[in-house]
Every structure is written in C-alpha cells, then in structure tokens.
Amino acid sequence: MATYKQIVKQYSPLLRDITHIPSKEVEILLLFILQKNTIWLHLNYDKQCECENELKKLVQKRATNYPLEYITQQATFYGETFFVRDGVLIPRPETEILVEKAVEILKNIPNPQIVEVGTGSGIISVMLALLIPNIKITAVDINPKALELAQKNSQKFNVDDKIDFVLSDIFTNINPSNFDMCISNPPYIEQNFKLPLNVKFEPKEALFGGKNGDELLKKITDATVYNNIKYLLCEMGYNQKKSMEQYLEQFDTKSIEFYKDYEKFDRGFVVEFNNVR
C-alpha cells in the first residue's frame, strides 16, 4: 500500500493540464476525503493511504475540468470559507473588490439598507453583514438552489437575522423604496462567448447576460434609478466599460467610478446618483 506522499506524486500528473498546482489539488482532494487539515497531512506523509480508490475517482472527475469547488463543496472568499454547490456560480476573487467598494460607502451611512440582485451563494451579502454593523440586506435571486445555499452560508456565519432572501427577478417581488444601495454581480458574458472548459460546468443563467452581455446591467441600472436608490455598484465584463459609460450618461449622476480587477482588466463600476434622499 502506497504512502500519502507516494499517492500525491502518483496522481498529480493527471491534473497537469487542468491546473497550475496539480500536487496541491491532489492534496486538497485527499484532505476532503479524510476531513483533515494540511498540517495533519504533512505530519503523516509517510503513512499508508487507505483511501486510494476514493481519491482516484475524485482526481478523475477533476481531470474532466469539473470544478474543484463543486467536488469539495466549498470556496474561499475574503479569507472565509463558504459552502458552494453545483448549479450555483462559484465565487471569484475579483468580487472581493466589489465588497470593498461597498464597505467604503456603507461605513458612512447609519443603519444602511441595501439590496443585492443575483445573490448566488450569498457571499456578498454575508460579507457585508459581517463587516457593517446595523446593516439590513434584501438578497434576491431567480434560482431557488442559490437562495437555499445563500441561506446556509448566512446561518454558518450567524448573520441570517440581517439578511432577507427573496425569490425575485430584480425587484419584482420586493418593495425597493427604502434602499440606500443596490449591489450586484450579475450575468454579464455575451451570448456567443466561448467559455473556458472549467466554467462550462457552472449555471449558464448565472453567466450569460444577453446578446451583448450588458443587457442585465442596464436593466438593474434602470430599476435602481426608477426606485430612487442613491448608490449602484456592479461587477461587469472586461469589455463593457465603454457601453456602460455611454448608458450612464442619460442619468443625473454625482459621480461614476470604473475600477479594475487584480489582472488590471476593467471589472466594475460605482455610481452615486443625484437628487436621491
């Protein structure tokens, strides 16, 4: 029977074309099976592995480009570990920037009320609930699976008393009259864009925003303005700055900021509208 060290070395080549950290991912899968941490594994590297058959199945599944996060049912965001599941979008590191932008504004608003459109796994709402005292959040999504998962994450972090989860298409099933901010990481990929292999396992409705990709961004903008919500923060596609700049020109805005992600691609915008409470 092989040791853990030998097993990691044996199965890593199967993931060389899938990830730049094949050995690390084999270790993650091992730890998921064993329900142990990295320190335990390194202390026990020379002990015999008794779960090779189970590991082999998971490595083979990962080798099809099936997301690691769906296998382990967890993802890291903002330094915290969240539940994830198939059928719900996997959190991305660049969305942390959207959270940071929101915190900058919300920390100066007493008892802020916000709405998140397309909450997915709930990471944005949960992090804002953790970071901002006395906040009240309405988090909407059209996917019941996502809302169930988001509720689970809010309970994990003990913030479910701060967040109402509602099945709704934008503001259809809620009363948006008292919100200070609308925040969203909506689907924004254009219809004919060829997805990377690993992303093909994620729900299409959480990825594609329409023919040009920016249709939902514009709908959210319209709904925000119509309901007199002062701040709008959205993530967007790397190639949508120009179209959103032009679209926002029609509104009475106090400030518009476009920001870049960690790879220096255009990734989102922050708008403050004029003449709103």
Q: pLDDT of 84-141, one tens digit each?
A: 999 899 999 999 999 999 999 999 999 999 999 999 999 999 999 999 999 999 999 9
CATH number, span 87-273: 3.40.50.150
Q: For residue 276, what pLDDT is reported?
A: 63
Enumerate the domain spans of the chain. Answer: 4-64, 87-273
Q: What is the pTM of this model?
A: 0.91
CA distance 179 to 138: 9
Q: For residue 11, what pLDDT is reported?
A: 95
Q: For residue 56, what pLDDT is reported?
A: 95
Q: For residue 277, what pLDDT is reported?
A: 56
Residues of the chain with pLDDT under 50: none
Contacts (Cβ under 8 Å, ≥6 apart) of 73: 83, 84, 85
CA distance 84 to 202: 11
CA distance 108 to 180: 11
Q: For residue 208, what pLDDT is reported?
A: 67
Contact present, 268 and 235 (Cβ < 8 Å):
yes
Q: For residue 78, what pLDDT is reported?
A: 92
pLDDT in tens, 178-195: 899 999 999 777 777 777
Neighbours of 79 (CB within 10 A): 7
Q: Coil, strand or helix: which one is 20?
A: coil
- Number of Cα atoms under 13 Å in the Cβ half of residue 216: 26
